[in-house]
Structure 1
Amino acid sequence: MNALTALSPADLERLARKRAGAKMGWYIHATVFILVNAGLTLLAALQGLHWAVFPAAGWALSLAIHGAVVFARPQGASLFQKLLVRERQALQAQRDPW
């Protein structure tokens, strides 16, 4: 049985909100990254230097890791959700002797 099908409509709504919030967090992170690094690049260009590439490179790495966590994870239920479903089933089996 799929772990997502065992969730109640309220649990599905909560999970959907959590995933949407994580994706929205990445979009905000990416927007701030673009705006700040555009400003740093402009500032470095006005000085005739190329130092802005260093903070941009470090931040780009963190943005890529953030994106991998948000978008590249399996689309099924999280490990916690799967364990929760298994525990509910085990408790139900203990309570129902027939």
Structure 2
Amino acid sequence: MPTETPAPIDPELIRKAQRRVSLRMGFFSHALIYVVVNAGLFALNVFQGGPLWSFWPMAGWGIGLAAHGLATWISLNGDGLRDRMLKQEIDRLNGGR
């Protein structure tokens, strides 16, 4: 049975994949740290008693986390849009071929 050697992977494709994975991992680590730290602050607040102050850092940081998630989502989906626009422009410059 003949064995096929895998086709070489385009270095640009590897760079693009690494960038996309970095964006996702950055957001996932941010979200994990958010959950761990805010769970600790909430537990401290409950055991300490008194008014619920842990809501404020959770809300403020949550806004930042949401912005990070939105920027990541737009960036990842924007790659496909950018590629489609580039292909359309190349086709237009080639005379519609």
TM range (shorter): 0.5 to 0.7
SS of equivalent residue, structure 2 residue 68: helix
**Higher-RCO chain (CA-CA 8 Å, sequence separation at least 6):** 1
CA deviation after TM superposition for structure 1 residue 72, in Å:
3.0
The residue aligned with 1:19 is 20
- CA–CA distance in 2 between the matches of 1:14 and 1:32? 27
- CA–CA distance in 2 between the matches of 1:78 and 1:55? 37
Letter paired with 2:48:
Q
Aligned partner (choices 31, 53, 61) of residue 51 of structure 1: 53
- CA–CA distance in 2 between the matches of 1:78 and 1:15? 13
- CA–CA distance in 2 between the matches of 1:22 and 1:33? 17
Percentage identity across paired residues of the two chains: 35
- CA–CA distance in 2 between the matches of 1:77 and 1:29? 26
Unaligned runs of 5+ in 1: 1-7, 87-98
TM-score, normalised by the number of residues in structure 1: 0.67
TM-score, normalised by the number of residues in structure 2: 0.68
- CA–CA distance in 1 between the matches of 2:38 and 2:79? 32
Unaligned runs of 5+ in 2: 1-8, 91-97
The residue aligned with 1:64 is 66
Letter paired with 1:45:
V
- Structural RMSD (CA): 2.2
